[in-house]
Amino acid sequence: MRADVVAEGQGVDGGGDSVAERGETTIADRVVAKVAGRAAHEALRTGPDARKLPRGKRSAPRATVDVRESSARVKVSVELGYPSDIGAQCSAVRRQVASRVRELVGMEVPDVAVEVERLHSPHLDGETLGRVR
């Protein structure tokens, strides 16, 4: 496969093919959602409360997107450790998701909604769930 960078109005061979005549690149919504979910994961794993976060695939952030032309509205569902600075973690997720989607997909992200699905406490997680004495 050949990847050439050409100026608008010039084809690969120097001809007059315009951008519209060559086609366009379409990025599937699920790809944008994957990038957003991974960006949320990056934000949470590098923050000051990373050691309090639950591990495993079940606790990985999930994202849904609504793509309109060249912008994407993103909703990210996360699980966080408790006690922690929930507001700071949500802000970090918003910044990282908007930045990475813009950088990797080329779409503006005017809105990132962060939904905290669950809080994990080291005192309540694991095998000791159930009876409390």
The residues near 133 (Cβ < 8 Å, ≥ 6 apart) are none
Q: Is there a domain that residue 5 lies in?
A: no
Is residue 80 within 8 Å of residue 55, measured between CB atoms?
Answer: no
The helix (H) or strand (E) run that includes residue 124 is: none
- Host H or E run for residue 66: strand 62-68
Predicted local confidence at residue 30, as pLDDT:
95
**6 inside domain:** no
Report the CATH number that the domain containing residue 112 is assigned in CATH: 3.30.70
60 domain-assigned:
yes
Q: What 8-state DSSP symbol labels residue 127?
A: G
Query: What pLDDT is stored for residue 52 in this prediction?
Result: 58
Give the range of the structural domain holding residue 66, as residue numbers without chain letter: 25-128
pLDDT in tens, 85-129: 899 999 999 999 999 999 999 999 999 999 999 888 766 655 444
Per-residue pLDDT band for 130 (boundaries 50, 70, 90) equals very low
| Predicted local distance difference test score (pLDDT) of residue 48 | 63
Q: How far apart are CA 89 and CA 74, in angstroms?
A: 16
Q: What is the rounded average pLDDT for all residues in the chain?
A: 79
Q: What is the Cα–Cα distance from 8 to 83, expressed in whole angstroms?
A: 54
Number of domains in the chain: 1
